[in-house]
Structures are given as C-alpha cells and as structure tokens.
Structure 1
Amino acid sequence: MDLTEKEILEKLDSGEIRIFEIEKYTDTANHATDIRRKYIENKTGVDLNHISKYSIDMTDTSKKNIENPIGTVQVPVGVAGPLLIHTEDEEIETYIPLATTEGALLASINRGCSAIRRSGGCNVAILANQMTRAPVLKTKSVTDAKKLKDWIKEHFDEIKEKAESTTSHGKLLKIDPIAIVGRFVYPRFVYETGDSMGMNMVTIATEESLKYIEKENDISILALSGNFCIDKKPSALNLIEGRGKSVVAEVVVPKEVVEKTLKTTTDAIVEVNYAKNLLGSAIAGSYGYNAHYANIVAALFIATGQDPAHVVEGSIGITSAENNDGDLYFSITLPDLPVATVGGGTRLETATEALNLLDAKGSDKVERYASIVGGSVLAGELSLIGALAAGHLARAHKKLGR
C-alpha cells in the first residue's frame, strides 16, 4: 500500500509506522530513504543536506547491505600509480583508487609506486585462500572434549559433505586446529571460498555440519562463532595460520633509486625497519610488525567495497628490509587479508567503478585484486620507511596533511 510522503511522516510521528517499515509504503527504496532522512531531520533538527546526495540505487543496497538507510557518506578518492606487479600468472600495471581523508597518504604511496617502477616492478605471490569459522562446543568433561576432537578428525569426510551441501562454491579444506579449554572445544573450520570473501558462506556451511556433529555426539553448541575463527580482531593465530588471502610482496630497489627517489640510503632504511617495525613492535607486544599496512588496506577497502572492519586483520604482518650488495631488498607479508571481487559491498556502483579501474571486478579476479593490495601495501610501506629514514615524515605532513 503506497502512501504519500506526508502521510508516512504523520504515521511515523504517531507510531502507526515504524522507521524500518517505510519501504512497505513507498514506490521505491530510494524514496523510502529520502523520507526516513527527512523524518530524522525533523526529529533532531539537524540538516543532512550532504548525506542526502548520492548516486547509488538503494533498491538492492537496502536489501543486502544496510538497514534503515538515510543516504551516504562521501570519502575523497585519489589515485596513485601506476603500480607495476609481477605475479605467477600475469603482469599487472594499474592505477590504484584510494579513499582516505589523511593528507600525504596518496603522495607517499605514489612515491612508493614510482620507486617500484624504477626498480622493474615488484613480485607478489598468493600463498593461501582460506576463510574460517570456529564454533564453541560444550562437552561434559575434559575426557569427552578429547573424544570429540578425535571424533571430528575421524569423521572429516562426512562433515565435509554436510558443509558443502549448502554451497556450490565453498570447499571445506580442513578442521584444524581444534582447541580445547577445559570441557569447551573450538574446531576451526577452514574453507576455500573462490572470489567471495565468504563469511556468510562458511557460516551457513558450518551451521549445517554442526547439526550432524550434534546428532552424533552428546554435546551442546554454545555459539556458531567462538572467537577462534578469528574474525575482525588482531590475532596471533591468523598471523601464523593465515585467513582470507595470504599475500607476500617484494622488490629489490637499486642503490641509485633509494638515493634519488627515496632520498636516503639502503643502510638507513634497514636500520629504521629493524628498530621500528621489528624491535619497536616486539616491545609493544604488537602483531603488526609494520609501519602502516592499515592505512593502505583501509583506503583500498573503502574505495572498492570491502568490509572495512577487516582492516584490523589486514593490519597484521611483517615488513623486512635487507642490504643486498648495496641495493635494498624490501618485502611485506600480509597473512590475513579477507577480500572479494563478488558479493557484499563490491556490488555498489562506486565500488564497481573502482574495481573496474583495477580490472578486478567479478569472477576469477580475486587473486588479481589481492595482488594489487599486496603491491600497494609494499609501495606505501617502502615510502614511509624511506621518509622516516630521511627525516621527511613531519615535513610531508606539514606540507600536505597537517
């Protein structure tokens, strides 16, 4: 039943219609979004003029990506590059769309891209593609907990069949590790999820397999996620085992490029990396043995429709720097990078354009996208460590991003 805008606003005020029901009474989701925003403006007295301006279609967005929409938030998008990457399957040369409000970040990444190009490009490898879900199961005793762990291992094939019955794309690779704390059991289900980031996929698959496990064992399923996954939190487990795409990237920067482009020396970069990223992170108890992975990951994630909460996982990893006969060997390791080129926020119009700019939209593109993230992080990390070694960090922020 369609109502006029005035009628809907009146019924919202009287309580006859609830704010999340507006779509039922309008012709389009876009119209419902506008009415909801006007209602909030009326209630709060706040003008949402800029939030009201958007070009995406709320029809699918309000069904799949957000509830109670009132508009969008704009984040400036810049471009860095071109970035030259060599992978096992292809050579990639691309400009990188980055959404951020941090002045100097794009300039720094752009300088890193320049250093990489002048070094003949960087090498990137995808080590693993796996998404995890780890429920918590309660047994009656530690003896039963051990028996359940053994049973899961012995019946992996049956569990795998149940899990994969829910998806045509996901594959259960293993259930490992299986942790026990007292009488609680935490089996870590590890899946290959193709071009999808896969959290919804593996959640549904794991739930189905748990029905079988519960039927065959005297246990209680306390929670589908027991924080052993481990999702959207920093984790030593993910640093070691990996999650999402595990990516490594390297470049050998000639001595003259270090000096002319980065304005410093190989030895200075090596020493800063050792003292800052390795020793400094160790004494802080950090899982991020790096300078600023999260900066680059966040800017790419926001531009391309990834889940920004996974930036915390993309922030962990290790940067290494070595003197290679005067040249600089520089590498980054991203063990935990949950990314996708289909589904989720990648379907949004702006994200589609950014992914198309990278030629990384749709099926069979996720490894290309992950490789670009790895190369971009390498560029940003190289430039920042170079700036620190040269004493240029404060100068850059004074000039470009106070």
Structure 2
Amino acid sequence: MTDPESLADRVQEGDLRIHELEAEADFDTAAEARRLLVERETETDLETIGDYSFPAERAEPNIENMIGAAQVPLGVVGPVAVNGEETSPSSQNSPNSANEGGAASGEHYLPLATTEGALLASVNRGLSVIRSAGGADARVTKNGMTRAPVFRVEGVAEAAETVEWVEENLESLREAAESTTSHGELLGVEPYVVGDSVYLRFAYDTKDAMGMNMATIATEAACEVVEEETPASLVALSGNLCSDKKPAAVNAVEGRGRSVTADVVIPGDLVKDRLHTTAEAIVEANTRKNLIGSAKAGSLGFNAHAANVVGAAFLATGQDEAQVVEGANAITTMDARANEDGTTDLYASVSLASLEVGTVGGGTKLPTQAEALEILGLRGGGDPAGSNANALAEIIAVGALAGELSLLAALASNHLASAHEDLGR
C-alpha cells in the first residue's frame, strides 16, 4: 500500500526505514507519511509544516527525510542604489535593472527573510540615505572558492619535495581539476606545511555557482595526481584550511568566495537631517565599538551587525545558511571628511572578506528562492558567466552597509532602544 497512513504504519512496524519512503511512493506522499509518523510519535500537529506550495520533488536535491517546509517571513528593502562594476549610466534609475554584464548597477529591491523585528526598517532607513547621497559604489575585489586537503608525509624533507612539485606542476593540477567541471577554473594552489602535514589550499573561479561541491570534486581529482607524483598521502579532502563554515583568520586575510566592498559618502546635512546625528559621532561610535571593542573581544568581525543582512539575504535567495559564519567576516570603516565650507561629510564602507554566494545550484533552484532571485533580476547564470553572482554580492554588500549606517547612527544618537520600542519589537 502506498497511501500515507499505510506507509507510516510500515515504518512504525519496522518494515520500512524512514529514509526509504520515496522508493515506495511519490515525494509528496512520502513527506506526508513521514509527517504522520512524527505526529503520532510526538503528539504534535504538523498542519502548518505540511502546508507548503511546491512539489516535494523539487526539494529532493536539498534535503532528506522531508516532512514539510519552514516558513520565515520574507520582506523587501530598497530600492538598493548600487553603482557596480561596469557601471551603465542608462540603468541607474531603473528598479531591478542590471547591465548586460550582470553587474549590480542600478536600483534593486533586495528580498530579506528574517524573524528579527525592526531589521528591515533599519536597513531601509540606511538605504534611503544612501539613495539620497547618489548611491553606493560596490566592487568584488577578489573571487575564489577554496578547498584545502591535508596530506601526510614522513617529515619536512618530503613536505618540501611535495610543495616543490606542486609549485612546478600547477598546469597538471589544473588539467586534472578542470576535467571534472565545464565551468570551474583553478586559480591557484597555496601550500602550507605543519610538521609532517602538508595542506594545499586550492582556489577556484566557480562562476555563478557558490561552488563548494564543484571545488570539492575538482580537488579530489587533483589530489589523485599529487599522490601519484609525490610522497604525500591524502588524509582528508578537507583539512580545515579552506576554511568552510567556521570562523577563520585565513578567510579574513585571503578571502573565500567573493571579497566585496561597498562605500558611500553621505553629505553632512543628510547625516544631520536623516540620521539625526553627526559624522563625527558616527565615526567615534564605529571606532570605539566596531574596531576597539571587536579587537578587545578577539572578534574576526569588525562590524556592527553585517550578519543580519547577510543571513536574511541568504535565507531569501537560497544560499548555504551556514556560510553566514564567513559572511560576517567584515570590517566597517567610517571617516569624517571636512569640506572647505566648514561642513563635514561621512565616508562609510563595509568590506566583506568571504561572502559565498551563487545564483545557480543548491537552494537557488527552490521555487521561493528562485522568485527572490527573479526580484533581483539575477536568477540563473549571467552573461558573462559569474556576473550574476558578482552582482548579488555587490547588492548584499550595499544592504549590509545600509544596516551598518542605520545602527551606528541609532547608537550615536542614543535612539536604538527607542526605535525598537516605537516598532513594538
């Protein structure tokens, strides 16, 4: 029998295992049977979890043992005014426009999914000020998804021999790695030696894919060549020098995924009229909070709350949410710039060292997330390849910058608590 009740019975009786249901029925029936099983065993009503709007089969590449979907409130902020790479003046005043190259020039509504009240209101305030200042500049300054296998050698002599071979035979490694993908390109390999361990940090241009799986498969092929040609023996395909989904100084210094910076100059009168403070006060708050305070805490993130925007954008657009860890690897800088007329403008920037985003593959193919990317005009691959992911990184960076501006202004003017009280959050 393939009705949900019967399938749930068979799992409870031990005739089927919970992960085998899709072999007995279609994906939606399997999800319903699994949901019934959980309801029985936990005495929980899962009506809302089971009320999802897409065929369960669409989620098959993304999850196992599906019982339904988690619904997170999704809103939009913007328009986000971005002067991205290859700026196209004709696109500057058109919502959702992007130039042919896929850079983020123009104005875009940015979907954000979150349960944190007041977040979108705060980001929107910052974006409004940025628009009034003529928009923010944003650039992807470095691109490279990394995977770092670890090898065992007998000692430093074999380690040196392995490193020398790798440095002299990059083309052989590139040929092996790129044979596994039609899109990815090996950019380089950085060796690290620790005693009898050799780490090779491979970096790839994965185009519009976030590219973690692509990098892993390509690196595995390259490792086979290393083992054949050197004394090194592979211990683990990931040796944590990548470093994926963990706070890591190597990502703050070398970058991972997209390294992207956004900046803007806010005229002094805008700071006063719209942010209700001064450039000097925001600069002091940033220095004492984001720089000195973060240094004293030993933080890798020297920012106010960049992860708020990164995390909300990741959930909305189908990114790997665990990589918010690296996305929070950001430095916010503020500077007061005096003018000849005696006024003072505010220079503001945020630099995200390791923003791992894509517009193809993974969760970007799920219906809700695909629609969110459609809002941005960035669904699927760009032309040229990689341009859509670059544009997404630029837009998220400007959104994060807006959030930094708004929060620091609220702190500098002592309005943070009252803002949350006014919104009842």
The two structures have a TM-score, normalised by structure 2, of 0.92
- Structure 2 residue aligned with 1:327, among 328, 345, 357? 345
2:9 corresponds to: 10
> 1:257-280 deviations in whole A, cap 9, x for unaligned?
101111100100011111111111
1:143 corresponds to: 157
2:381 corresponds to: 363
1:87 corresponds to: 84
1:392 corresponds to: 415
> 1:27-80 deviations in whole A, cap 9, x for unaligned?
x21111111111111111111121111112211312x10000000111111221
**Cα offset, 1:401, TM superposition:** 5.0
- Structure 1 residue aligned with 2:330, among 289, 297, 317? 317
1:61, 1:348 within 8 Å by CA — same for their partners in 2?
yes
* Range 220-229 or range 48-57, more displaced: 48-57
Secondary structure at the aligned position of 2:68 is classed as coil
> Amino acid of the residue matched to residue 104 of structure 1?
A
**Cα offset, 1:219, TM superposition:** 2.4
**Cα offset, 1:240, TM superposition:** 1.0
Alignment of 1:248-287 (within 5 A): 248-287=261-300
2:99 corresponds to: none
Mapped partners of 1:52, 1:237: distance in 2: 42
> Amino acid of the residue matched to residue 386 of structure 1?
A
> 1:192-216 deviations in whole A, cap 9, x for unaligned?
0000000000100000111111111
**Cα offset, 1:124, TM superposition:** 0.4
- Structure 2 residue aligned with 1:75, among 69, 72, 76? 72
- Structure 1 residue aligned with 2:114, among 93, 100, 105? 100
> Amino acid of the residue matched to residue 321 of structure 1?
M
Secondary structure at the aligned position of 1:264 is classed as coil
1:102, 1:401 within 8 Å by CA — same for their partners in 2?
no
Mapped partners of 2:256, 2:55: distance in 1: 32
- Structure 2 residue aligned with 1:344, among 346, 359, 362? 362
Are 1:133 and 2:147 matched, yes or no? yes
- Structure 2 residue aligned with 1:306, among 301, 319, 334? 319
Mapped partners of 2:39, 2:371: distance in 1: 31
Mapped partners of 1:200, 1:348: distance in 2: 18
2:63 corresponds to: 66
Are 1:113 and 2:127 matched, yes or no? yes
- Structure 2 residue aligned with 1:122, among 136, 147, 153? 136
Mapped partners of 1:353, 1:66: distance in 2: 19
Secondary structure at the aligned position of 1:334 is classed as strand
**Cα offset, 1:393, TM superposition:** 0.7
Mapped partners of 1:30, 1:303: distance in 2: 23
Mapped partners of 1:313, 1:270: distance in 2: 25
Alignment of 1:114-263 (within 5 A): 114-176=128-190, 178-263=191-276
> Amino acid of the residue matched to residue 320 of structure 1?
T
Cα distance change on mapping 1:341 and 1:39 into 2, 3 Å: same
* Range 365-374 or range 5-14, more displaced: 5-14
Q: Which runs of 5+ in 1 are unaligned?
A: none
Mapped partners of 1:51, 1:4: distance in 2: 19
> 1:175-207 deviations in whole A, cap 9, x for unaligned?
01x111111001100110000000000100000
Aligned residues: 398
Mapped partners of 1:113, 1:219: distance in 2: 52
> Amino acid of the residue matched to residue 378 of structure 2?
A
Mapped partners of 1:39, 1:204: distance in 2: 36
> Amino acid of the residue matched to residue 66 of structure 2?
P
Mapped partners of 1:143, 1:222: distance in 2: 18
What root-mean-square deviation, in Å, do the aligned CA atoms of Structure 1 and Structure 2 show?
1.0
> Amino acid of the residue matched to residue 165 of structure 2?
W
**Cα offset, 1:390, TM superposition:** 0.6
2:210, 2:357 within 8 Å by CA — same for their partners in 1?
yes
2:96 corresponds to: none
The two structures have a TM-score, normalised by structure 1, of 0.97
**Cα offset, 1:360, TM superposition:** 1.2
1:41 corresponds to: 39
> 1:139-196 deviations in whole A, cap 9, x for unaligned?
01121111111111111111110011000101011001x1111110011001100000
1:56 corresponds to: 54
Cα distance change on mapping 1:401 and 1:381 into 2, 3 Å: farther
> 1:349-387 deviations in whole A, cap 9, x for unaligned?
000111111111111111111111111011111111111
1:29 corresponds to: 27
Are 1:288 and 2:301 matched, yes or no? yes
**Cα offset, 1:17, TM superposition:** 0.8
